[in-house]
């Protein structure tokens, strides 16, 4: 199955981190990553209960390293875009749909969860392959951090083994840089650039490109560039 890690971005309360470790282990997940967490002490250990090993083995990383190291990144958000004209939090998928998308990946997958008070920033969402939101009641839509983690872990538990390797983060970054340079070649308007690149990341991110597919896109752009340079 995909190697799934739960990533907590700047969690504020150690009890939530402990409960997260516990619910992860309930569903068979042991890879916890912490980005600039609060101080973890006795309360976190107590809340983790028999998942103390998950808590103690948690990796400390920066958000930049998360994006550089993991093959596929799913960012969770409670706030979604209302229009495709604002693509930062669009399109979005429910946890059950995420299972279908990542189930055949033979690689590393990170599920990002934001801060308890305001979630993930746009800069942290920008490079995600996929946006996930948990459908909740309008009466009280705010979920506790560990509860949100539990819902994703429940949906992703017992996935079958993946079938193909993805293009690595380095290879995908190379492709995005090539696309960005290609937009310069075709005089794409500067004021549209940021939204265009966000949409391209969303489209290509959720397609789960293989190494060969990424190489093919490079080849198509190089061939187009050659014709632009050698046109009569």
pLDDT for the residue numbered 75: 94
Distance in angstroms (rounded) separating the CA atoms of residues 105 and 72: 9
What's the alpha-carbon Rg for the chain, to the nearest Å?
A: 19
pLDDT for the residue numbered 231: 73
- Do the bridges between strand 3-9 and strand 59-60 make them parallel or antiparallel, or are there none, so unpaired? unpaired
In this structure, what token pair is assigned to residue 218?
């490079």
In the chain, where are the structural domains located? 3-156, 169-230
Instruction: Show the CA angle centred on residue 41, arms to residues 39 and 45, nearest 5°.
Output: 130
Profile the chain (232 residues) by mean pLDDT over runs of 10 residues: 94 97 96 98 96 97 96 86 52 90 91 94 89 89 93 91 77 92 90 90 87 90 88 62
Distance in angstroms (rounded) separating the CA atoms of residues 171 and 174: 5
Q: What share of the chain is helix, strand, coil (3-state, %, to 5)?
A: 50, 15, 35
Task: Give the count of alpha carbons within 13 A of 46, CB side only.
Answer: 5
The number of angstroms, rounded, from the C-alpha of 227 to the middle of its chain's C-alpha atoms is 36
CB atoms within 10 A of CB 227: 9
pLDDT for the residue numbered 88: 52
SS3 164: strand
Strand-pairing partners, residue 34, are 8, 60
Distance in angstroms (rounded) separating the CA atoms of residues 67 and 73: 7
pLDDT for the residue numbered 91: 73
Domain 3-156 has CATH 3.40.1280.10: yes
């Amino acid at each position: 199955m995909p190697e799934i890690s739960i990533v907590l971005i700047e969690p504020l309360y150690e009890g939530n981190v402990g409960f997260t470790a516990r619910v992860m282990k309930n569903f068979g997940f042991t890879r916890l990553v912490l980005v600039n967490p609060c101080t973890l002490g006795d309360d976190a250990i107590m809340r983790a209960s028999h998942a103390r090993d998950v808590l103690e083995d948690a990796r400390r990383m920066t958000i930049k390293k998360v994006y550089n190291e993991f093959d596929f990144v799913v960012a969770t958000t409670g706030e979604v875009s209302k229009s495709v004209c604002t693509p930062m939090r669009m399109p979005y998928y429910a946890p059950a749909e995420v299972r279908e998308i990542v189930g055949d990946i033979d690689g590393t997958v990170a599920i990002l969860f934001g801060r308890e008070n305001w979630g993930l920033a746009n800069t942290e969402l920008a490079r995600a392959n996929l946006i996930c939101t948990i459908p909740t009641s309008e009466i009280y839509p705010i979920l506790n951090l560990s509860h949100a983690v539990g819902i994703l872990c429940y949906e992703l538990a017992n996935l079958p083994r993946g079938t193909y390797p993805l293009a690595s983060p380095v290879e995908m970054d190379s492709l995005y840089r090539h696309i960005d340079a290609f937009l310069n070649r075709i005089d794409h308007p500067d004021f549209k650039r940021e939204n265009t690149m966000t949409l391209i990341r969303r489209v290509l991110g959720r397609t789960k490109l293989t190494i060969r597919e990424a190489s093919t896109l490079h080849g198509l752009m190089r061939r187009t560039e050659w014709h632009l340079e050698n046109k009569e």
